[in-house]
Amino acid sequence: MTMRVPLTLMLVFLLLSQVGSSCTGERNKEEVAQVDRMLMATDSLLRVLEAVDMMNVQRIASLWNARKDRIAVLMKDTLTKEEALALANYHRAMTGPLDLVERDHEGARGALELQRDQLKNLLHDVQNDALDDERMAEYMQQEARFLRSAEEQVMAITESARIATREHERFSARIDSLLEDTTRTRS
């Protein structure tokens, strides 16, 4: 008899712990799936950033840096409407979108890699039921907010790279011609 009570209590405890863990398990499955989706989105954003042709962006930036002082001087001269538009559009694309890509690309990549690490840690905590509900909700909201912000930043970087490349291709020959004409005129 004395053995049955502890065995019965142990069986009841095991049964209750299984019921409790199956409920927690379902909750964890949903949270694990949510963290997995955030990890996939983070990896996707990293792939989008890696697709930006930074060698081309750096080449364009190098050409811009070589030209910008002469362009600034040329913009002060009397120009035709066509020349002024070409210079202004090129200048705008190089000082806005190109600068944004150069300034933000590496930082965005680093922030996404850090987020990936944080999401892996969060996934580990979720799988091991290491966080209370309140803390879990807080962390999930923080990561979701960061992911939305990172997505906006990555889209701005890719769009800016596209604009800078397009405008460079569109105006580069004309800019070279204007700079060459100015050099010949002053010589």
CATH at residue 141: 1.20.1270
Contacts of 98 (CB under 8 A, 6+ apart): 57, 60, 61, 64, 160, 164
* 25 contacts 95 by C-beta, under 8 angstroms: no
For residue 13, being part of any structural domain is answered with no
Residue 33 is predicted with a pLDDT of: 94
Residue 176 lies in a domain: yes
Tell me which residue range forms the domain holding 65: 27-186
CA 56 – CA 58 distance, rounded (Å) = 5
Residue 9 within any structural domain of the chain: no
Q: Average pLDDT per run of 10 along the chain, which is 187 residues long?
A: 43 42 63 95 97 97 95 89 93 95 97 97 93 93 96 97 97 93 64
Instruction: Look at residue 20 in the predicted model and tell me its pLDDT.
Output: 40
- What is the structure's pLDDT at 89? 93
Exposure on the CB side of residue 143, measured as CA atoms within 13 A: 27
Residue 163 covered by a domain: yes
**Helix H segments across 52-132?**
54-76, 81-95, 97-127
Domain count, the chain: 1
Would 50 be classed as within a structural domain? Answer: yes
Task: Report the predicted TM-score, pTM, of the whole model to 2 decimal places.
Answer: 0.79
The tokens 């700079």 sit on which residue?
A: 179
**Residue 131 DSSP code:** S
2 assigned to some structural domain: no
Q: Is residue 74 part of a domain?
A: yes
Q: Is residue 6 part of a domain?
A: no
Q: Give the model's pLDDT for residue 77.
A: 86
